């Protein structure tokens, strides 16, 4: 076991306490005022960091300069929760009905706080360390909001790094992937407007539920018959909302789409085909359609050189068996992609073992990985800022 990991494990009671508090008090994207206040309070209590809040609404940047080194890096953790009812029986379960940390962002933040505590105490680096605590990853708003608020102009860095726990990967093992690693996601809302009426008199109405049902099926052809089979893409209709009563024909129907692509050309192709189908399907049923396009997506691209260097540092600190440089790729998305468009860096995965997958009501982040994640951050800071 490395010296760093041994030292971090001495602090695990602090890390666990931070994690459990965050888990018990979830807040949705761009509503994380209490979470941000808690994180800032912990950081200020360490006594060494310059802490700036309100970056991109609820974002936090903590900075610590040591020595005369001119290098600077940023380590990023996210802290928003999900609109899902937790189904676990934990003593630190969510105290807010319908909201929960079922993706592990609470754990990511606790890991970075653990690293912050250790680095503030040891100061075993030479340069400028910045910790980015980011809101609203789930809605792809947080990173763009912090960037638009002058993140990299106000807090200059050379490189940026982030990490995500991942069920199904070996517990406590870090996985590094070079190049394109996660998909671009576009979250769209489609509103179909027909003509509401009585369920017994459909001839006097225009039913957007029928139009929407046809559209759901038509959208299944977008990837199957337009994207090359060797490429990866997906179009998911995650929500279809219309009406309240069985004897009423709804006036409008709303579909919420999650569109994921792995190349820029496929993204353009898929989005254009969705636009075409939405309007053609709506018109064929006598409805009108409005498409509300959200934050444009971006593929997460890990710089190969920075990825190899980060993996070498992790291997030296944690051991050969705790690092893989043949990491997976996912159609999941991550708004850290926008930070990687601005600065070189890498995004790795930390195995959560055999657990329910993220976003499942029974997902549980294994607390055994908390010190490992914190130790990786410490090793990366010390290794990069020599």
Instruction: Please report the domains of the chain, with CATH numbers, ordered by start residue.
Output: 3-182+299-384 (3.40.630.10), 184-293 (3.30.70.360)
Query: What angle, rounded to 10 degrees, do the helices at 12-24 and 370-384 form?
Result: 110
Q: Which residues are annotated binding-site positions for Mn(2+)? A: 103, 105, 138, 164, 359
Q: Which residues are annotated binding-site positions? A: 103, 105, 138, 164, 359
Over 70: is that where the pLDDT of 1 sits?
no
The residue-averaged pLDDT of 9-26 equals: 97
Query: What angle, rounded to 10 degrees, do the helices at 105-122 and 12-24 form?
Result: 150
- Pairing mode of beta strands 174-175, 344-351: antiparallel
The residue-averaged pLDDT of 130-144 equals: 97
pLDDT tens digits, residue range 26-85? Answer: 999 999 999 999 999 999 999 999 999 999 999 999 999 999 999 999 999 999 999 999
pLDDT tens digits, residue range 303-339? Answer: 999 999 999 999 999 999 999 999 999 999 999 999 9
Question: CA 50 to CA 236: how far, in whole Å?
Answer: 42
């Amino acid at each position: 076991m490395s010296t760093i990991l041994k030292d971090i494990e001495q602090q695990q009671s602090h890390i666990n306490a931070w994690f459990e508090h965050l888990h018990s008090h979830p807040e949705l994207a761009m509503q994380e005022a209490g979470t941000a206040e808690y994180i800032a309070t912990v950081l200020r209590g360490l006594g060494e960091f310059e802490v700036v809040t309100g970056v991109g609404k609820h974002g936090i940047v903590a900075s610590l300069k040591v020595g005369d080194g001119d290098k600077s890096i940023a380590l990023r953790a996210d802290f928003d929760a999900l609109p899902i009812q937790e189904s676990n029986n934990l003593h630190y379960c969510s105290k807010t009905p319908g909201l929960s940390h079922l993706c592990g962002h609470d754990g990511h933040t606790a890991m970075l706080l653990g690293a912050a505590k250790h680095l503030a105490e040891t100061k075993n680096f030479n340069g400028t360390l910045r910790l980015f605590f980011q809101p609203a990853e789930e809605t792809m708003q947080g990173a763009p909001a912090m960037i638009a608020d002058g993140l990299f102009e106000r807090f200059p860095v050379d490189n940026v790094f982030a990490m995500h726990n991942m069920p199904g990967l070996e517990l406590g093992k870090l996985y590094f992937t070079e190049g394109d690693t996660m998909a671009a996601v576009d979250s769209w809302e489609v509103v179909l407007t027909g003509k509401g009426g009585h369920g017994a008199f459909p001839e006097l109405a225009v039913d957007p539920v029928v139009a929407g049902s046809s559209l759901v099926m038509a959208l299944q052809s977008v990837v199957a018959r337009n994207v090359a089979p060797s490429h990866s893409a997906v179009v998911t209709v995650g929500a279809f909302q219309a009406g309240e009563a069985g004897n009423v024909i709804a006036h409008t129907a709303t579909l919420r789409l999650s569109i994921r692509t792995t190349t820029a050309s496929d993204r353009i192709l898929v989005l254009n085909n969705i636009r075409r189908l939405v309007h053609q399907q709506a018109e064929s049923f006598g409805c009108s359609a409005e498409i509300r396009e959200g934050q444009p997506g971006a593929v997460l691209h890990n710089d190969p050189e920075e990825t190899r260097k980060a993996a070498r540092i992790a291997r030296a600190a944690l051991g050969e068996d705790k690092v893989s440089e043949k990491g997976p790729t996912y159609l999941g998305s991550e708004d850290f992609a926008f930070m990687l468009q601005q600065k070189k860096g890498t995004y790795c995965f930390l195995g959560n073992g055999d657990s329910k997958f993220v976003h499942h009501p029974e997902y549980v982040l294994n607390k055994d990985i908390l010190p490992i994640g914190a130790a990786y951050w410490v090793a990366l800071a010390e290794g990069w800022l020599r």
